[in-house]
A and B are shown apart, each in its own frame.
Chain A
Amino acid sequence: MLDTLHTLEVVRRRGFVSRWVLGAVLVAVVGWLACTVAASPNLEWTVVGQYFFSTPVVAGVGVTLVLTFATLGIGLVLGACLAMMMQSRNPVLSAAASGYVWFFRGVPLVVQIVFWFNLSLLFPTVGFTPTNQLITPFLAALLGLGLHEAAYLAEIIRGGFLAVPRGQVDAALTIGMTRSVATRMIVLPQSIRVILPALGNQFILILKGTSLVSVIGGGDLMTRAQQIYGQNYQVIALLLVATGWYLVLVTVAGVGQRFLERWAVS
């Protein structure tokens, strides 16, 4: 028997039964939930369809995107500066950067947004301009989001710096670079590979975090949804409109992240 054994077909264990059972249970539970919600007489699907591509909602999506990218831009530039300051041998610089991160990471985002919006209560004028004229809801939103995000991105970038082997800096110094040039030319580019996955995650957090600016009427997707359901009382329908858009944007961001990571590795 042993001399024919090697001719037999090999069948790998698949565990089909447990997969089918588990899958069926999952489909049943999720399907039942979805049907219950969808079939609810209080949910007007026509309203969802009516508003999904309406002018105010699409404009809100635009504002959400602008806020997201502007926040990312501010956060990256400021965060990179903060990360370099934290690495500095100058104790004043590193303490200042650590203090910034401690404060802006410690105060809730919504508190910061409301604070910037109400800056005029603290400083009625900036120079000769009334603060209320200067700080629009959009600018208050941008300040709140950008300064808050810089603190998180600073920590992510610092983590990336730490992942670059010390010898790289030694080598840069021995060819006559100063520490700060070495950080920009050698450490920063090499840390991108480590930073990128965390950055993609952070981008999605920012994207959804922009919805908090609705508390000051920032004009984003969530603000528009609130304004509409404030008039027609179709709260759930408009929350579904917002949900749909956020999921679309997050999905696109997730695909973009995969592409970026593949590019960075190659």
Chain B
Amino acid sequence: MVGGLRIRGIRKSFGDLEVLRGVDLDVAPGEVVCVIGPSGSGKSTLLRCVNHLEPVDAGFVQVDDVLVGYEHRDGRLYESAERDIARSRRRMGMVFQQFNLFSHLTAVRNVTLGPVRVLGRDAGEAEREARELLARVGLAAHADKLPAQLSGGQQQRVAIARAMAMKPSVMLFDEPTSALDPELVGEVLMVMRDLASQGMTMVVVTHEIAFAHEVADTVVFMDDGVVVESGPAAQVLLSPRSERTAAFLAHVRRPRKEHDHA
């Protein structure tokens, strides 16, 4: 199942606090899944566990049918060597709430660093592709600027290009628009919508209910470290089965009714 993601029984505690209490999630190739839920529900931790930025306490993650961060041997899951973990992470691109662009490198160097240093690609060829990617996210003119010279929305679009340059099977978005000024949210969502329409497998942790409604195939509502409800976007968002989902949706919809559909 190339391009698919399988999450099974993920548990994760920080000290005494159990943040994830057994999460299952399947994402089919080309599917867009939006994960919504109140803050502290474990959405971001789930993404960090999926690409092994946080090692899990139990459960496993598979991308393209390959285990992430662990090897299956003698009836146990052994954590892989760091080199192998790094190798399996390449199958997933990640976009962070705070962009996390490499602040000492220009936009185009941010994008080429992975292909050149990690994949060993030819520098000239990588740069040509990087400029193409930056053009696709509307930043051809800003390729040689440092992150500090770019707006938040532009930085986030560079971050998406950086992740895409590794040609991942799955893209993970951790609240990609939460740190942006309201007028910059639209440009980032537009790039994400574009990716989704090209058949990219995506898991998006977001508070943008309108975006989820429009772009997601599946919406997952998480609360208190478990998946409370998941299903087709329209069903979960318009006629939720769980009372907790309904309460959450009522709460987030009330303050901003007219939502940016950009």
List residues of A whose CB falls within 8 A of some B CB.
165, 167-168, 170-179, 181, 185-186, 189-190
28 contacts between A and B (CB under 8 A): A165-B100, A168-B100, A168-B103, A170-B94, A170-B96, A170-B100, A171-B101, A173-B53, A173-B89, A174-B93, A174-B163, A175-B89, A175-B90, A175-B113, A175-B118, A175-B162, A175-B163, A176-B119, A176-B166, A177-B114, A177-B117, A177-B118, A179-B82, A181-B117, A181-B118, A185-B113, A186-B102, A190-B102
- With both chains docked as a complex, state the minimum distance between the C-beta of B109 and any C-beta of chain A, in angstroms: 11
Whether the Cβ atoms of B98 and A190 lie closer than 8 Å is no
Given A179-B82, A185-B113, A185-B117, A174-B92 contact (CB < 8 Å): yes
Interface size of B by Cβ–Cβ distance < 8 Å?
Answer: 27
- Which residue of chain A has its CB nearest to the CB of B51? A174
Pick the residue among B89, B96, B117, B163 that contacts A167 (CB under 8 A).
B96
**A181 surroundings in chain B (CB, below 8 A):** 117-118
Pick the residue among B83, B104, B159 that contacts A189 (CB under 8 A).
B104
Chain B 228-261, CB-CB to A under 8 Å as 1, else 0, gives: 0000000000000000000000000000000000
Instruction: Classify the secondary structure of B's interface with A.
Output: mixed
Given A176-B118, A176-B166, A189-B104, A171-B89 contact (CB < 8 Å): no
Whether the Cβ atoms of B102 and A168 lie closer than 8 Å is yes
- Which residue of chain B has its CB nearest to the CB of A164? B103
- With both chains docked as a complex, state the minimum distance between the C-beta of A174 and any C-beta of chain B, in angstroms: 4
B87 at the interface (CB under 8 A from A): yes
- Which residue of chain A has its CB nearest to the CB of B48? A170
**B67 surroundings in chain A (CB, below 8 A):** none
Pairs of residues from A and B, 5 with the lowest C-beta to C-beta distance, nearest first? A175-B114, A171-B100, A167-B100, A176-B90, A174-B94
**B51 surroundings in chain A (CB, below 8 A):** 174
B86 at the interface (CB under 8 A from A): yes
Given A176-B114, A181-B117, A170-B86 contact (CB < 8 Å): no
Contact count A vs B, C-beta below 8 Å: 64
- With both chains docked as a complex, state the minimum distance between the C-beta of B152 and any C-beta of chain A, in angstroms: 14
Instruction: Classify the secondary structure of A's interface with B.
Output: helix
Q: With contacts A167-B96, A170-B100, A176-B86 known, what are 4 further pairs, Cβ within 8 A?
A: A171-B94, A173-B53, A177-B118, A178-B86
Whether the Cβ atoms of A174 and B102 lie closer than 8 Å is no
Pick the residue among B87, B101, B159 that contacts A176 (CB under 8 A).
B87
CA distance A175 to B167 in the complex (A): 10
- With both chains docked as a complex, state the minimum distance between the C-beta of B88 and any C-beta of chain A, in angstroms: 9
Whether the Cβ atoms of B86 and A173 lie closer than 8 Å is yes
Whether the Cβ atoms of A176 and B89 lie closer than 8 Å is yes
**A177 surroundings in chain B (CB, below 8 A):** 86, 114, 117-118
**B86 surroundings in chain A (CB, below 8 A):** 173, 176-178
- With both chains docked as a complex, state the minimum distance between the C-beta of A50 and any C-beta of chain B, in angstroms: 52
**A170 surroundings in chain B (CB, below 8 A):** 53, 94, 96, 100
Interface centre among A165, A170, A189 (most CB of B within 10 A): A170
- With both chains docked as a complex, state the minimum distance between the C-beta of B167 and any C-beta of chain A, in angstroms: 11
**B118 surroundings in chain A (CB, below 8 A):** 175-177, 181
State which residues 136-153 of B face A: CB under 8 Å.
Answer: none
**A176 surroundings in chain B (CB, below 8 A):** 86-87, 89-90, 114, 118-119, 166
CA distance A190 to B104 in the complex (A): 6
Pick the residue among B53, B87, B101 that contacts A174 (CB under 8 A).
B53
CA distance A245 to B119 in the complex (A): 53
CA distance A254 to B26 in the complex (A): 61
- With both chains docked as a complex, state the minimum distance between the C-beta of B125 and any C-beta of chain A, in angstroms: 17
- With both chains docked as a complex, state the minimum distance between the C-beta of B9 and any C-beta of chain A, in angstroms: 23
- Which residue of chain B has its CB nearest to the CB of A180? B82
Chain B 47-72, CB-CB to A under 8 Å as 1, else 0, gives: 00001010000000000000000000
- With both chains docked as a complex, state the minimum distance between the C-beta of A223 and any C-beta of chain B, in angstroms: 42
CA distance A171 to B119 in the complex (A): 16
CA distance A176 to B89 in the complex (A): 6
**B117 surroundings in chain A (CB, below 8 A):** 177, 181, 185
CA distance A171 to B96 in the complex (A): 8
CA distance A51 to B94 in the complex (A): 67
**A186 surroundings in chain B (CB, below 8 A):** 102, 104
CA distance A227 to B203 in the complex (A): 75
CA distance A179 to B89 in the complex (A): 13
- With both chains docked as a complex, state the minimum distance between the C-beta of A86 and any C-beta of chain B, in angstroms: 18
- Which residue of chain B has its CB nearest to the CB of A191? B104
CA distance A53 to B90 in the complex (A): 63
CA distance A175 to B172 in the complex (A): 12
- Which residue of chain B has its CB nearest to the CB of A179? B82
